[in-house]
Structure 1
Amino acid sequence: MKQFWRFIGMLLVGIVCLQLFFAARIALMAVVSPQSTTFQRSEALRLLREKHRILWAQQWVDDDLIHKNLKRAVIASEDAGFTEHGGVDWEALEKAWDKNQRAQEQADKRAARLAKTNSTRPPPVPKVIGGSTISQQLAKNLFLNSERSLVRKGQEFVLTLMLEAMLSKRRILEIYLNNVEWGEGVFGAQAAARHYYGVDASRLGANQAARLAVMLPAPKRFEKRPGSPYVSGRAGTIEARMGAVEVP
């Protein structure tokens, strides 16, 4: 029993030290911009393994060099309550959970019908809808991997609360927009604006910004058809909402 409690004690000390390490890194971000994220490093390694080279575009630009059109578009598309919540939008998470449960039930029914007919078609995979806020997405990209587990989600919540406690909303959005993925090897607002429209992030028009915001949930998929009917239609919806968005 002594060994067991010693192990538990060491585990708790390790967890506390890890959280202090994360807290120190986040506190430093108030004055020093992060040079890379965990997600970016994993993408660089993937590109190196698969293509034997790293084609990369990223350039940090300060908050005042990112047009408000893009800030409004991203908030309208990704996290309408960004300026109001404390990092986690519990109502959005509940809605996402309900939608995912319904999608899973429908997928299970279709799989059961396929099984009865001895079909060789693969069972349907339900589309997972996320309810993460911009702060949660930033916490995940900065420090965590893509693993789906309760432990990783719990750590994401803790990191999100740290970000909200130590950084302003304006700084959180600035770091997010400079590091989020907008295509394979394309990271940050400046690289995205140059890649898709040949302009700086400070010169993005409303429709251009809305189209970039549409891409964020699945940038690698949308970059193949940035002018698709879905992107155009969704961008129109986002553009119509942008006027009501509050920018921190």
Structure 2
Amino acid sequence: MRLLRNLFLLILLVLAVDVGRYFFIPDVSRLAHTNPGKTAFMEYRQAEWRSEGRDKTIEQRWVPLKKVSSSLIKAVLISEDNNFWHHEGFDFKAIEGALEKNIEAGEFKFGASTISQQLAKNLYLSPSKNPLRKIKEAILTWRIEQTLSKRRILELYVNVAEWGDGIFGIDAAARHYYGVRASQLTASQSARLAAALPNPVLYKPTGSSRFVKARAKHIYAIMLRRGLVVPDYREVMTASDTPVVQPPDSVVVGVPEKLIQDSLLPDSVRYDSSPEPVPEETSESTQPGN
């Protein structure tokens, strides 16, 4: 009995050390100025290929966030982490909703991982749903959020996220599926790429999957509703202007009445008058939306 108890305590100690080390290693601060090499998720995939006897290589091309289509960024945020700018690594409301759905389903089917959590998993862990792995992920997520800016987290994520069998990072995905650079992705292409993220090996952005089509349509609809996409933008902006005739007796909005009256005086009177100082314009500051 004593032997079993000591063995149990030893196992607990080993598990505590295994989990606790993630409070100190790896050095997350390096990510602020250094792009990671091969991620743990890439190594996991390569191990799978070797076990299956497949000779495959990783496709990845790093790009700065400023060279990624803004449509892609918006589509990914809508798809994966709608509250990204407001949480500190964990979306507790989404977690609560996922737990309720899993209880109803009687199995672990729904997740609520934020982009920060997914980044931690992709960089350092595996896709396993082991509870210990989730604890390690939580520790790493907390450290990442404390150390890196939101912009850098997003930049890292779109460059290491898996977008297909052996395809990692948005630039490799854009070239593989659409033959364009990451900066050239359209809104509809971005919506389909974001729609495939839940299982990019199973669902291809350019495939015929009903799941991808429906999810991409939903993401695109949200982009439209939020004003992130302007339909037929090129057609609207390149169309010829319609001639507009200003009625002679119309009131010009925003022009002081005195200036309008002065413009009706003879030149000799108007230009002999001393000009009054022009009042400074004031404007209310607005908070940009998400």
| TM bucket normalised to smaller | 0.7 to 0.9
The 5 A counterparts of 1:205-216 are 205-216=186-197
Residue in 1 that maps onto 2:260:
none
The 5 A counterparts of 1:58-207 are 58-104=60-106, 128-207=109-188
CA shift for structure 1 position 53: 1.0
Q: Structure 1's 10 and 76: CA in aligned 2 closer, same or farther, altered over 3 A?
A: closer
Q: Structure 1's 247 and 158: CA in aligned 2 closer, same or farther, altered over 3 A?
A: farther
Kept in 2: contact 1:59–1:191 (CA 8 A): yes
Q: Structure 2 unaligned runs (5+)? A: 229-287
Q: Structure 1's 93 and 235: CA in aligned 2 closer, same or farther, altered over 3 A?
A: same
Q: TM-score, normalised by structure 1?
A: 0.81
CA shift for structure 1 position 233: 2.5
What code does the residue aligned with 2:223 have?
M
What secondary structure does 1:221 align onto? coil
Q: How far apart are the structure 1 equivalents of 2:76 and 2:50?
A: 30
CA shift for structure 1 position 229: 3.4
Residue in 1 that maps onto 2:24:
20
Q: How far apart are the structure 2 equivalents of 1:143 and 1:230?
A: 29
Pairing partner for 2:209 from 219, 228, 243: 228
Which sits farther off after the overlay, 149-158 or 57-66? Answer: 149-158
Q: Structure 1 unaligned runs (5+)? A: 105-125
CA shift for structure 1 position 44: 1.3
What code does the residue aligned with 2:92 have?
W
CA shift for structure 1 position 167: 0.4
Q: Structure 1's 44 and 97: CA in aligned 2 closer, same or farther, altered over 3 A?
A: same
Residue in 1 that maps onto 2:53:
51
Q: Structure 1's 46 and 211: CA in aligned 2 closer, same or farther, altered over 3 A?
A: same
Kept in 2: contact 1:75–1:82 (CA 8 A): yes
Compare the two structures and name the one with the higher helix fraction.
Answer: 1
What secondary structure does 1:182 align onto? strand
CA RMSD of aligned residues (A): 2.6
How many residues are matched?
Answer: 222
Q: How far apart are the structure 2 equivalents of 1:91 and 1:18?
A: 25
What code does the residue aligned with 1:177 have?
V
What code does the residue aligned with 1:228 have?
S
What secondary structure does 1:99 align onto? helix
What code does the residue aligned with 1:72 have?
K
Deviations 1:106-125 (A, max 9, x none): xxxxxxxxxxxxxxxxxxxx
Q: Structure 1's 10 and 149: CA in aligned 2 closer, same or farther, altered over 3 A?
A: closer
Deviations 1:91-138 (A, max 9, x none): 10110011111111xxxxxxxxxxxxxxxxxxxxx5611111110111
% identity of equivalent residues: 40
Kept in 2: contact 1:72–1:247 (CA 8 A): no
Kept in 2: contact 1:70–1:206 (CA 8 A): yes
Which structure's CA Rg is the greater one? 2
Deviations 1:183-229 (A, max 9, x none): 10011100110111000000000000000000000111112862333
What code does the residue aligned with 1:215 have?
A
Kept in 2: contact 1:83–1:247 (CA 8 A): no
CA shift for structure 1 position 55: 3.3
Q: How far apart are the structure 1 equivalents of 2:166 and 2:202?
A: 13
